Amino acid sequence: MSRLRRFALFAALCLTVAAARADETQNIEQMFRQGNLAGALAQADQYLAQNPKDAQVRFIKGLILSEQGKTDAAIAVFIGLTQDYPELPEPYNNLAVLYAAQGKYEDAKNALEMAIHTHPGYATAEENLGDLYARMAADAYARALQLKGGSPALQGKLDTLNRMLAANKGFIPAPAKTPAPTATK
């Protein structure tokens, strides 16, 4: 068999394998989007057993675990992705979202800064960083209000931030209700 023919067969085989992988990845994504989290996770795990370095399927697995409320497992997936693929901003961003939901704002800030560092034009990470700072400001105002007592100006700032955060349903929700100020003497 000529070298050219062997190369052509090898190239065709590679394209076939790549197409099969793409189909499998698309199937996992579709199952995830349709809400079949258990099926998507099982298929992702099966795929990753054969392709453990596949960043796209690992990322989807992190999303699935997050949706299932398996936050620690999702964090582990995203941390692994940041270690193996430090140039990808998305795992840092998703890691930040999970940290922020746990109230680990400093860790969230660091992850978002890494996302922005790896991809300076990553608008989602910039927006999430702004939301994080707003959440941190609202928490500081709530603490100040508890320490200071009923300050209408402070309460107004807190209310404004909480309305803004409540309108942003995705990254860091506002608390269910503002803590009641305690009277100080």
Q: What is the pLDDT of residues 87-130, one digit of tens each?
A: 999 999 999 999 999 999 999 999 999 999 999 999 999 999 99
Is position 148 within any domain? no
What's the total number of domains in the chain? 1
**Residue 172: which pLDDT band, with cuts at 50, 70 and 90?**
low
Residue 52 has pLDDT above 80, yes or no: yes
Is position 69 within any domain? yes
- Determine how many CB atoms are found less than 10 A away from the CB of residue 100: 23
Is position 150 within any domain? no
Domain that holds residue 102: 3-124
- Determine how many CB atoms are found less than 10 A away from the CB of residue 110: 15
pLDDT value at position 16? 45
Mean pLDDT of the chain: 82
**Residue 165: which pLDDT band, with cuts at 50, 70 and 90?**
confident
Is position 170 within any domain? no
Is position 129 within any domain? no
**Residue 180: which pLDDT band, with cuts at 50, 70 and 90?**
very low
Is position 160 within any domain? no
Q: Can you give the CATH number for the domain in which 15 is found?
A: 1.25.40.10
Is position 53 within any domain? yes
Is position 23 within any domain? yes
Retrieve residue 81's tokens. 């992705």
